[in-house]
Amino acid sequence: MNIDNNPESENQRYKWLVMTVVALTTIMCTLDASIVNIALPVIRAEFHVGITIVEWVVISYLLIITSSLMIFGRLADIAGRKLIFIIGIVIFTAGSMLCALAGDIYTLIFFRVFQGIGAACITANGSAIITEVFPAKQRGKALGMVGTTVAIGLSSGPVLGGIITDYFGWRYIFLFNLPIGVAALITAQKILRKSVRNQTVKFDFAGSALLTLILGIFLLGWAQWERWGVRTAGILSAVSIVMMVIFVKVENRSPFPAIDLRLFRDNRFTYANLAAFFNFAARFSVVFLFPFYLIDVRSFKVSTAGLMMTPVPLLMAVLALFAGALSDKIGTRYLTASGMLLITISLGMLAFVDPYTSIVYILTSLTISGIGCGLFGAPNTSTIMGSVPRRHLGIAGGMISLVRNLGMIIGVAWSGAMFAAMKGHGAEGVHEVDKIVPAFQACMKIAVVIAMLGVIASFKRGEMIRDTDNGLF
């Protein structure tokens, strides 16, 4: 028999080609995030702005992704995942070029918003594309491979970002995306098949617009609470809560809701998303603040600081595939809970760093965090994607990215605001380094509490029970 005419062989080949496409775009997006974070101290110094301004280089990007993910996930269910996915690659690549040309901090923030629209199109559909192509028995392994590519992007980002920033300047960290984006566009156009459009599903404009507005108001208030005050943040939060009540009523009446709220009746879906939120809200405080500790307190070069931060994503890359495959056999509950517990221990260790902490101690704490992240990621994603029917894969994929980015934004917002506030309240005449250290330690202690909530959510989800191959466990 000619293997080229074997449908099973052709299907196997197509699955892994699709994996290649998703991996390439995933690396592009995660590489960009990690490169930008390591360069923030340099960008802040060049534009002569404070930490509560420069943090918007991160927040603006994540904010637009978070607020529009469900829109693009739903549009992909209707218009086809390939179309939305490719549009995302084009916008993201163009946005990268515009960021490199920014003349001031506010222009850079604006172009990061544009770039975020493209990232939303990509990230809302990556997990859905993989879940749609791979059968349930291989889903954990496949999502583990996606987790590995995430880790590759994150692990190479700090090192590449540090080297590029030190020797060429921070603008080239955005230009670095251009060849990757072009390669991803060509590959996706050639390989991805057109997905079947769901002609019976209509787009929920009212629900999607309301959700975007709710997220924007809530996140804007808390991202700026240190500048605007807790009272203003509280008022905006109250407004967003009232609007959320309205949103629930609108969605319950809509025949084609932007988010099918019935999905949250499944504890696996609900608690896995909660665990992911706490995971990123805790960890991104480290991702955001640690470069300032390494560069401003320890006086490391940017490239050295980037190298110091590689244990976490590097171990994620090594363990993600293993954890994903293992979850296919033993379930996800104890893997994710163990991962979150290790992350909690790591954050507890970082709460005691000072200007003289040994490099071995720092690397040990980051290594523990990396192991925890590797055990948590793929099994948790598998839980979410495996607990919904196939017709909701786009929504579930969008929800994963929404929760992840929501956690990132909250992590950057609360830690940045608290860090700036505690530094500002330091005694007059105290050296800058002596203000940074206690502020960083306090933020890590709060991160420990947040991570513990992730441990609890991981245990509360229950265990996955495999019974079909149609998108439900």
| Whole-number pLDDT of residue 25 | 87
Give yes or no for a contact between 416 and 237, defined as CB atoms under 8 angstroms apart. no
Mean of the pLDDT values across residues 266-279? 90
| CA separation for the pair 34, 323 (Å, rounded) | 23
pLDDT tier, 427 (very low <50, low <70, confident <90, very high otherwise)? very low
Judged by average pLDDT, the poorest of 75-79, 240-244, 264-268, 463-467 is: 463-467
Quick count: other Cβ atoms within 10 Å of Cβ 267?
A: 12
Give yes or no for a contact between 406 and 159, defined as CB atoms under 8 angstroms apart. no
Question: For all residues of the chain together, what is the average pLDDT?
Answer: 80
Burial class (CB in 10 A: 0-12, 13-18, 19+), 175: middle
Most confident of 218-232, 278-292, 321-335: 278-292
Q: Residue 425 is encoded by which pair of tokens?
A: 């309240």
- Contacts with 125 (C-beta within 8 Å, 6 or more apart), sequence order: 72, 73, 76, 81, 84, 85, 88, 394, 397, 398
Three-state DSSP string of 52-90: HHHCHHHHHHHHHHHHHHHHHHHHHHHHCHHHHHHHHHH
Mean of the pLDDT values across residues 71-79? 75
Amino acid at position 221, single letter: G
| Whole-number pLDDT of residue 359 | 92
Query: SS3 of 274, please?
Result: helix
- Among 420, 331, 424, smallest CA distance to 380 is for 331
pLDDT tens column, 396-415: 766 777 787 788 878 877 88
pTM summary value: 0.74
- Residue 53 clears pLDDT 70, i.e. is over it: yes
- Among 40, 10, 283, smallest CA distance to 157 is for 40
| CA separation for the pair 273, 266 (Å, rounded) | 11
Q: Residue 102 is encoded by which pair of tokens?
A: 């920014």
pLDDT tens column, 452-472: 999 999 988 765 544 434 443
